[in-house]
């Protein structure tokens, strides 16, 4: 699980707190788990990955640098809670992280699937297929 807060951005629509129940998330301008409309951010900019008790940030192809607590970084780094990551004009605070176990993911997916069934969502076939692939 990764919990982060976007504190500042040129994209006012993303100023919020986000919680991801997975061990890897991708942040970028128009691809990934969280898309940020910031022209200084590449389409796929960084990946955050929880490995055991550590959170790592991986720059993606073409990323020259990013900032961690105002200090320049250009390769894989360890992060800790309350670190501030600057990607382009966007500042992201790491709130909480911990490794998500597979059974927890399955419970979360089942809850989402049940919610979609109750709503009769048009995304239901896609979610059902993804759930089958995880088994």
Would you say 55 and 97 are in contact if contact means Cβ atoms under 8 Å apart?
Answer: yes
Which pLDDT belongs to residue 132?
Answer: 66
Strand order in the sheet with 84-87: 17-20, 2-8, 90-97, 84-87, 66-68, 71-73
Q: What is the mean pLDDT of the chain?
A: 88
| pLDDT tens digit sequence for 79-96 | 999 999 999 999 999 999
* Distance, CA of 86 to CA of 79 (rounded, Å): 13
| pLDDT tens digit sequence for 9-56 | 999 999 999 999 889 999 999 989 999 999 999 999 999 999 999 999
CATH 1.10.1740.10 fits 2-97, yes or no: no
pLDDT band at 7 (very low <50, low <70, confident <90, very high): very high
Which pLDDT belongs to residue 49?
Answer: 95
């Amino acid at each position: 699980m990764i919990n982060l807060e976007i504190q500042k951005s040129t994209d006012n629509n993303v100023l919020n707190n986000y919680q991801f129940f997975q061990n890897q998330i991708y942040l970028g301008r128009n691809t990934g788990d969280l898309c940020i409309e910031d022209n200084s951010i590449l389409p796929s900019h960084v990946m955050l990955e929880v490995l055991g008790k550590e959170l790592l940030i991986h720059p993606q192809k073409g990323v020259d640098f990013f900032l961690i607590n105002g200090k320049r970084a250009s390769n894989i780094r360890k992060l800790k809670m309350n670190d501030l990551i600057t990607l382009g004009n966007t500042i992201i605070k790491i709130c909480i992280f911990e490794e998500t176990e597979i059974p927890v993911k399955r419970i979360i997916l089942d809850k989402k699937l049940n919610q979609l069934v109750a709503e009769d969502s048009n995304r239901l076939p896609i979610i059902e297929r993804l759930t089958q692939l995880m088994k």
